[in-house]
Amino acid sequence: MHLIFTILAVAYSLLAWFNKDAFIEYSQLFKLSKLFKIDEFKQVTENDPTMSYPIFLASYYNNFFTRLVSCPICLSFWLSALYSLSLLGLYPWYLYPLVIMAIAYAGLFMYFSLVKIMSNE
């Protein structure tokens, strides 16, 4: 059951990051707009309303970290590694690489399935 919740957490995190404006809204709410370049992003989206925040970061602030957070596959892996820490002690230590890969793959599959379902509405 813990594994299912971890997979759901990865899929939801990817959905919130790539398809919703939650990060932008919370950044503004907590007065972090300057830190995360939200005002600059809003100016750019006036000219190109289809640009998402992850693509903006990868385009205007191209470095390893921004490429990492703008890639669903990469982000899925690192989120899986992070979220799998909640599963410590449930599996033998030597199975954790397999658990991380299973979470990443299933979370990514669920994310793309949800995106497909949402686009058909």
Interval 106-121 mean pLDDT: 92
pLDDT at 8: 95
Domain ranges of the chain: 2-119
121 band by pLDDT with thresholds 50, 70 and 90 = low
Q: How far is CA 52 from CA 29, 33, 61, in A?
A: 19, 16, 14
pLDDT at 93: 85
Q: Tokens in use for 99?
A: 């658990």
90 band by pLDDT with thresholds 50, 70 and 90 = confident
- Digit-coded pLDDT (tens) for 35-57: 999 999 999 999 988 899 999 99
Q: Which residue has the higher pLDDT, 54 or 90?
A: 54
pTM of this structure: 0.88
31: left (phi over 0), alpha (psi -120 to 50) or beta: left
Report the mean per-residue pLDDT for the chain: 93
Distance separating alpha carbons of residues 107 and 52, to the nearest angstrom: 21
Cβ-Cβ contacts under 8 Å for 26 (sequence gap 6 or more): 32
Q: Tokens in use for 18?
A: 């790539």
Q: Tokens in use for 57?
A: 């970061």
